[in-house]
Structure 1
Amino acid sequence: MGRNSMPVENRGDTELCLFIEPYCEDYWMGPGETLTVRSEAEGVDVWFDTHVSKGCITVWLYEDGDPYKIVGDYAVVDASGTRLDSGHQRPRGQRWSAAGPIID
């Protein structure tokens, strides 16, 4: 059985954005919070490509590591397993650019 999930933990002392591409979905974590990105596709070995920038972790999900096979059937869940919606805990007045959230 392949990989199908990846936990992301905010070990910092400020909010952290988990940004899922190519859908531009954002999930915000407070300090000490962990969210898990998981594939909902059966029998797929998912590779998680991550990019870290100031205040943000961007994740792409690929089938078998092939960047032409994007896994679009996924969920982001909290520590209790509750499925979250995009915009989870988004800070009020959050600004955006074409590349994602603007972190000052």
Structure 2
Amino acid sequence: MAVMEVRNDSPGWLVMWLEPLGEDRWLRPDETFRVRSDYHGDELAFSLTFWVDDDDRSAGIENVAVWIERGDCYAEVTDRAGNLVECGHQRPDEVNRRWQAALADAHRRTAERKAGGEAV
């Protein structure tokens, strides 16, 4: 089993994206999550990608993607105590509302295009 720890040493939120699934988990300052893969080989099971989004950074949010390179992409994420950490863990309500509104808007635009006979 491959295990990697992700620790938030910043003063704000760290969003850990589990890829290729696109799942988000939010870490508070000084919080640590463990990502576990079923991979038992000699090659690296994970890779990391960090990026800066100016809007996120101004809101005190940093981003890191943990890419599952080997093994089942449905890796297990736990906290230090071993509790399972699911997608959306600690996602701020404001962010959740914005994402839900964007999704609803995308669905509305798709329905409008279908109704107008445009290819989707």
TM-score by length of 2: 0.65
Deviations 1:65-95 (A, max 9, x none): xxxxx63131110010111110000011215
> Which residue of structure 2 lines up, in the alignment, with residue 58 of structure 1?
65
Alignment pair present for 1:43 and 2:50:
no
> Which residue of structure 1 lines up, in the alignment, with residue 77 of structure 2?
76
Amino acid at match of 1:74: A
Q: Which has the higher helix share?
A: 2
Runs of 5+ in structure 1 lacking a partner?
64-69, 98-104
Aligned length: 88
Q: Superposition RMSD on alpha carbons, in Å?
A: 2.0
> Which residue of structure 1 lines up, in the alignment, with residue 31 of structure 2?
33
Runs of 4+ aligned structure 1 residues displaced above 6 Å come to none
Amino acid at match of 1:82: N
> Which residue of structure 2 lines up, in the alignment, with residue 20 of structure 1?
18
- Aligned-residue sequence identity (percent) comes to 33
Deviations 1:44-66 (A, max 9, x none): 45521110113100011112xxx
Q: Which has the higher strand share?
A: 1
Runs of 5+ in structure 2 lacking a partner?
53-61, 103-120
Max Rg structure? 2
